[in-house]
Amino acid sequence: MGSGDDSLVGKLWTRSRPRKRKRQTRRDRWRSRVKWYGLPVLGLIIGTWATLRFSLLAPEPPINPNHLCEIFREHTIWYDYAKDSQERWGTPIATQMAFVYYESSFRSHARPPRTRLWGFIPWSRPTTAYGYAQALDPAWGEYLAANGDGLFTVRTDMEYALDFVGWYNHLSHRQLGIPFHSPRQLYLAYHEGRGGYARKSFARKPSITALASRVQSRAFRYDNQLKSCEQEFQCWRWYQFWPFCG
């Protein structure tokens, strides 16, 4: 009986060792796969997500860009972005949206058209303007330096485009004394730069002064429209209800 027990124990341990080695080999194999393929696969996932986030899934321009209530009904989150920018920097919501209308027609990846070499070969673009707010590379770099250079802070995101407009107008207000209720003057400083505005470079550009007047007219029209519907955007989430979100 004793010798039989010893023999049985020996057989059990003999059988368990290959299984243990097999499990260890399987773990080593998966560790090796993760080591060699993990980072490339992770990079592919992040790249795919970024492409979907900032390009393919960019919202379409509003169907009715001439009425601010309809714009916000179609893209309600834009109201929140504009409201946050107004509270942070001071530019009214309607003025911000009028800027975006004339800068990009609400197209997230808008760029100036390319020039033509010899009249037919696509060539370079006249400026580095890009995104909803058509922010130039130098101005955008200043904005990032002043407000944090985040990886996902991009000109094709309406949140940061509106924040950029508010930030730029805040500097125009502080440095040039332009009031926030003067969209025409704010837009002249936005288009010509604060230095150009101080030199009155726009005085020699009738097309720019006419455009600034149109921006002002649209900003005032947007403001009147917003007064008739703003309450509905202040109470659009399930946890917001009157009178706590007025």
Model's pTM, two decimal places? 0.74
Query: How confident is the model at residue 106, as a pLDDT?
Result: 98
Query: How confident is the model at residue 127, as a pLDDT?
Result: 87
Query: How confident is the model at residue 10, as a pLDDT?
Result: 45
Query: How confident is the model at residue 5, as a pLDDT?
Result: 47
| Residues with pLDDT less than 70, the chain | 1-24, 28-57, 114-117, 119-126, 236-246
For tokens 């090796």, the residue is 32
| C-beta separation of 97 from 86 below 8 A | no
C-alpha torsion sign, points 239, 157, 136, 120 = negative
140-195 confidence digits (pLDDT tens): 999 999 997 777 899 999 999 999 999 999 999 999 999 999 999 999 999 999 99
Query: How confident is the model at residue 32, as a pLDDT?
Result: 67
Angle between the N-to-C axes of helices 158-176 and 183-198, in degrees from 0 to 180, rounded to the nearest 10: 60
CA dihedral 210→103→81→135, nearest 10 degrees, is -120
CA dihedral 120→125→130→131, nearest 10 degrees, is -10
